[in-house]
Amino acid sequence: MAKVRTEDIIKEFDLELVSGEEGIHRPITTSDISRPGLEIAGFFHYYPAERVQLLGRTEVKFTEMLMRGERKYRMEQLCTDATPCIIITGGMDVPEELIEVSEIHSVPVLRTPMKTTGFSSRLTYYLENKLAPTTAVHGVLVEIFGVGVLITGQSGVGKSETALALIERGHRLVADDCVEIRQVDMDRLVGTAPELLEHLLEIRGLGIINVMTLFGAGAVRPYKRITLTIHLEFWDGDKQYDRLGLDEETVKIFDTEITKLTIPVRPGRNLAVIIEVAAMNFRLKRMGMNAAEQFADRLSDVMTEEESQFD
């Protein structure tokens, strides 16, 4: 199913529908926008018909210079079966020929009082967010000291209970159980909660609680960029866990590599405090302060000094 249709941008930007009402259900499949200046001048060899077509003052004024027959022919070539809509910016008058052919081919012609550059930027941002690749991950997304932390692990390992403890410590819940992740840029992943699960947290033995109702609006947020993944797993006595933090593991979601930490779970470990410290340490690393590397350098210096004493 199409994520965005022409009718969606009409509602989002309060656009005026001038003609072609029968085509308002056409799908928009790309966030790219076209300003068909060359096409109006007659060059249609590489016309990107599947894009939203934006006509600004330059394009409209140029059409006024054309003969009526030529102008109608160019407008007919603009209105293809793949064209989602044509938008006139700046509140300018729509060419009569465009209204005529758009009604014939059911291509919506819309109008906005906004200037071309500003409207183009807003529309591009809106379409990029709506059309971004999306996936769903089983886990919990919380904001800890400004860091978006995705907590994963098998069912029953304690993800939701840990999130509840973090909320009690002043951090914010984004999503529980199911996290919808969108790649809004090449290296930017944004997580949100499905509308059905927004603000809800499931605690085994207690049931479903509404975090915003219990802890206030400051305990939740609608979305957050994901920069750190923490995987919880039951303690395995035969497995060697990282004790220094020198080796950085990553997980790939779409085209983005995210830092991943694996934390073993067993009775007595305060997971909320551990994850909170992990988020703070992650921030320090991004600021250039790596405690593990500093320890390794100190250890190397001590070993060098001891070796020099025996020489």
**CA 194 to chain CA mean position, Å:** 14
Check whether 160 is labelled as a binding-site residue: yes
Check whether 115 is labelled as a binding-site residue: no
Check whether 148 is labelled as a binding-site residue: no
Q: At residue 209, what are phi and psi to the nearest 5 degrees?
A: -120, 150
The CA–CA distances, whole Å, from 155 to 178, 211, 260 equal: 12, 21, 19
Residue 149: CB partners within 8 Å, gap ≥ 6? 141, 142, 143, 226, 227, 228, 229, 230, 275, 278, 279
Q: What number of residues does the chain have?
A: 311
Check whether 156 is labelled as a binding-site residue: yes
Check whether 72 is labelled as a binding-site residue: no
Q: Using CA atoms, how far apart are residues 252 and 167, in angstroms rounded to an integer?
A: 27
**CA 2 to chain CA mean position, Å:** 17
Q: Tell me which residues are annotated as active site.
A: 138, 159, 177, 243
- The two tokens of residue 270 are 């305060």
- The two tokens of residue 281 are 């340490």
Check whether 285 is labelled as a binding-site residue: no
Check whether 94 is labelled as a binding-site residue: no
Q: Report the binding-site residues for Mg(2+).
A: 160, 202
> Which residues contribute to the annotated binding site?
153-160, 202
| Binding-site annotation: residue ranges for ATP | 153-160
